[in-house]
Amino acid sequence: MDQEELFRRLAVALAIGLLIGLERGWQTREDPDHQRAAGLRTFALTGLLGGIAAAISAVTSPIVLSAALLAHTAAMGAFSYLEATTEKNFSVTGVIAGILTFLLGAYAMLGNETVAVAAAVTMAILLALRDPLHRWVRTLTWPELRSALMLLAMTFLMLPVLPNRPIDPWNVLNPAEIWLLAILIAAISFSGYIAVRVFGDRNGIAAAALAGGLASSTAVTLSFARLAREHPESTRLLAGGIFLAGATMLARLLVLAALIKPDLLGTLLWPAVAAGAVQLAGSGVLLWKGESRSAQESLLEIRSPFDLGTVLKLAGLIAAIMLVAKAMADRANAAGLYLLAAVSGIADVDALTLSMARFAGGQVSLHDASVAILIAASVNTVSKAAMAAVVGGRTLGALVGGVSAAAIGAIALVALVTT
């Protein structure tokens, strides 16, 4: 390590300590001088100490770093104990923050500086959010905690052990992909619950629809349709959320196509924009027309963030649709690119979009690729309207079906005019 890099890494270690020290000093700014175990200067020196100890250990022995860490921890713990016994304020957060600041200073010297800084920023945010986090924990209900734990278990325990390959004779059903879809539906349901609770009906549904539409508008449709079945009085709001997620899906489709094959936008852009405008108009009318309500006046009395049984049933529905789509494709016997796009669009748009973008201008003409993507998007819109009717009921089905028909009409009209 040359001298320039050495100074740079030591500066990063010092900056990490200053960042944490600034937050710690602000938290204890009302305390009298000489009655704080650690503040701005102490944490700044801790970060620098970690960097210096790591630099010395790199040219001598790792024992130096270990000894420095033990000595720092002992000193920090002793002074924190004296502070706690004097003020009757027992908390180990300061000690943990001191140890972590030392380690991040050392890692900035020996490892990846970007990772060290990112970890320090994360720690500073967690420390600064002490009061909001404590208030949130006090108001946390058992259904919310249980749902969060179930979602974490579904993601980090079950998903890694499932086979990530098709296991059926038709080469369609991938357990990892289906379970990932179940996680996605559950996550959207959970985020929608939190958003409605924090922001109220309209703003909460809009936030959940935008976030969910970036991942899967189909999952948003299924989640909101389930809520509409349970809360028919909020059907119009939930239909507006479905349209907003659909418009987000069209924007995502354009971005995917532009990133892989920008030439596709010549045919794809205006039909997709027209359909998105129709869905945004429908969303605006249903979500924001009429009296607004705050979070305290919420119509959606959601009892549970999500129900695992319902989530699994909805994921099973998607798996069934995938099987039907495969059967239709096999019977068609490769009858044409557009038929394949229609069949693919029943359950998914992204896969077809990515495939067409890769082949466009080569094996497939730009025009045919663009039309295939629009067909897949149109069929997917029809599929979501059918899901909304089956899962959410007749009223939701009529609302989603009407606006979806107008959006598909806009795609067809603009495509005919511009080609």
What is the end-to-end Cα distance of the chain in Å, rounded? Answer: 61
SS3 content of the chain, % helix, strand, coil (to 5): 80, 0, 20
Q: Which of 26-30, 75-79, 128-132, 266-270 has the lowest mean pLDDT?
A: 26-30
pLDDT at 253: 82
Which one is predicted more confidently, 29 or 247? 247
**Phi then psi for 364, rounded to 5 degrees?**
-125, 140
pLDDT at 110: 94
Mean pLDDT value across residues 294-307: 48
Mean pLDDT value across residues 238-267: 85
Band of pLDDT at residue 138, cut at 50, 70 and 90: confident
pLDDT at 45: 93
**Is 251 a residue whose pLDDT tops 90?**
no
Cβ pair 54, 9 in contact under 8 A: no
pLDDT at 70: 95
Mean pLDDT value across residues 274-303: 67
Q: Which of 47-61, 201-215, 226-240 has the lowest mean pLDDT?
A: 201-215
User: H helices then E strands: how many in the chain?
Assistant: 17, 0
pLDDT at 24: 82
Which residue type, as a one-letter code, is found at position 170?
Answer: W
Mean pLDDT value across residues 385-413: 91
**Phi then psi for 60, rounded to 5 degrees?**
-125, -90
pLDDT at 140: 73
Mean pLDDT value across residues 104-129: 93
**Is 298 a residue whose pLDDT tops 50?**
no
pLDDT at 330: 54
Which residue type, as a one-letter code, is found at position 167?
Answer: I
Token duo for residue 232: 């028919």
Q: What percent of the chain has pLDDT over 70?
A: 78
Burial of 313 (0-12, 13-18, 19+ CB in 10 A): middle
Mean pLDDT value across residues 45-62: 94
Q: What is the 8-class DSSP label of residue 214?
A: T
Instruction: Tell me the sheet residues that pair with 364.
Output: 360
377: Cβ contacts below 8 Å, ≥ 6 apart: 249, 250, 253, 272, 275, 345, 349, 411
Mean pLDDT value across residues 238-243: 90
Q: Which of 20-29, 190-199, 323-332, 341-350 has the lowest mean pLDDT?
A: 323-332
**Is 295 a residue whose pLDDT tops 60?**
no
